[in-house]
Amino acid sequence: MSKTDEKPLKKVCIICAKGTIEDVYATLVLANGAVMEGIEAKVFFTFFGLDAITKNQMNKLHTGTVGNPAMRMPGGIPFPTLLGILPGIEAGVSVMMKNQMARLDIPPVDEFLEMITAGGGEIYACKLAMDMFKLKKEDLWDGVSDVLTVGDFYGMCGGENTQIIFT
């Protein structure tokens, strides 16, 4: 199929399984970008990704400092993984990351979710992860559409011109 014959993307389904700032925001940026382009977006939060839609955690996310080879200190110097285990380092790096995001006018998680749903995007929680972490629907951000099994989510994502993205 040539480039001119390709059908435009109509739906994107994004799965967020990690709860660090960088992973959650990758999901939010992709979902928001989709709705801004008129693409149907459905987002499924599972395992530690549930922190992004759990009322008590959604605006308390941290940056992963241990085992993050892309982490850099000011000046582009690689961040020594060993430093990440010291008390207060993860919290300090997370504050720096949030401050940089605020300077770029990137909204906090709850506002980002509101932007996505206002644009027609849908937010879902994983039933298995909810059961594992003993969470109830009322523990989640009020804009969560439903708690689904992964099979139910995949069923919603079927059809031609659909892309599934795992962040």
Q: What is the C-alpha separation between 71 and 80, in angstroms, rounded? A: 8
- Mean pLDDT, the chain, rounded, equals 90
Q: Above 60 in pLDDT, residue 61? A: yes
- Find, among 133, 160, 166, 158, the residue nearest to 147 by Cα: 133
The average pLDDT across 24-37 equals: 96
Q: Between residues 19 and 88, which one has the greater pLDDT?
A: 19
- From residue 143, how far is each of 14, 84, 86, 102, 105 by CA, in Å? 17, 34, 37, 23, 22
- For residue 2, pLDDT over 80 is answered with no
Give whichever of 23-27, 68-72, 74-78 has the largest mean pLDDT.
Answer: 23-27
Residue 3 has pLDDT above 60, yes or no: no
In the CATH scheme, what architecture does the domain 8-59+108-166 have? 3-Layer(aba) Sandwich (3.40)
User: So where are the chain's domains?
Assistant: 8-59+108-166
C-alpha to C-alpha distance for 79 and 68, rounded to whole angstroms: 8
The residue type found at 165 is I
pLDDT bucket at 1, cuts 50 / 70 / 90? very low
Tens digits of residue pLDDT in 122-167: 999 999 999 999 999 999 999 999 999 999 999 999 878 888 899 8
